[in-house]
Structure 1
């Protein structure tokens, strides 16, 4: 199948597939006589694997590790679990940071009158933080 067909079947963009090839996550596809990339069932399984890992927030290096473990049938599951646990910790830290940002903005918005007057604590805080 072509890159467009593979992208459609896997539910990703052709651009994502090209990016994963450039990063080395996905081996370069075989080329047809016209130079178009050709993907088979194995390629499609790898594309879906990468897409699912990306949907769980895994970055390129962790996906590289997961792919290596997925392809190694003799792998210890402890290594897979370790990568997943590290990802959970990172996601928790990101969620905490987002909650802190939301709380700060919520506090600022609560102290803004939101009326016709020009004074606004939100803008004042943003300006204060920039200097």
Structure 2
């Protein structure tokens, strides 16, 4: 398969596929003319990477997961640790987003939204950082 074929079948942009090659996540064969020649195994890896990235795993996590996937002697506990670490990061981000939402909701509620120039939203944004 050429890069257009594998892009179409994986749902990943050709630019993304080239990036994954540049950072060593995939290693397609090269024809005599230098064109990439993707095998089914490359497509499978790209699908794996696309799914992992859609779940928010970092490139380094993807590298670890791919290495674990390819290691037939892997321990499932190693895979679970990567997933749980990512889950904790998601939980932290959700807590941060919830706090931001709460603050913004309180500020929006405090703003009269009328023709007067006084605005607690702008006052809060202009205040010194808290913490």
TM-score, normalising length: structure 2: 0.90
Aligned partner of residue 26 in structure 1, secondary structure: coil
Contact 1:7 1:14 in 2 (8 A): yes
- Determine the C-alpha separation between the residues in 1 that align with 2:112 and 2:19: 47
**What do the CA deviations read for 1:70-111 (whole angstroms, capped 9, x no partner)?**
001111111111111111111111111111111111111111
Q: 2:8: which partner in 1? A: 8
Cα RMSD (Å) of the superposition?
Answer: 1.4
How far does residue 43 in structure 1 lie from its aligned partner after superposition?
0.2
Q: Does 1:25 align with 2:20?
A: no
- Determine the C-alpha separation between the residues in 2 that align with 1:94 and 1:26: 30
After TM superposition, where is structure 1 displaced by more than 6 Å over at least 4 residues in a row?
none
Q: 1:35: which partner in 2? A: 34
TM-score, normalising length: structure 1: 0.90
Contact 1:25 1:60 in 2 (8 A): no
Unpaired segments ≥5 residues, structure 2: none
Q: 2:53: which partner in 1? A: 54
Q: 2:104: which partner in 1? A: 105
Aligned partner of residue 80 in structure 1, secondary structure: helix
What does 1:78-97 correspond to in 2, within 5 Å? 78-97=77-96
Moved more, 32-41 or 120-129: 32-41
- Determine the C-alpha separation between the residues in 1 that align with 2:55 and 2:123: 37
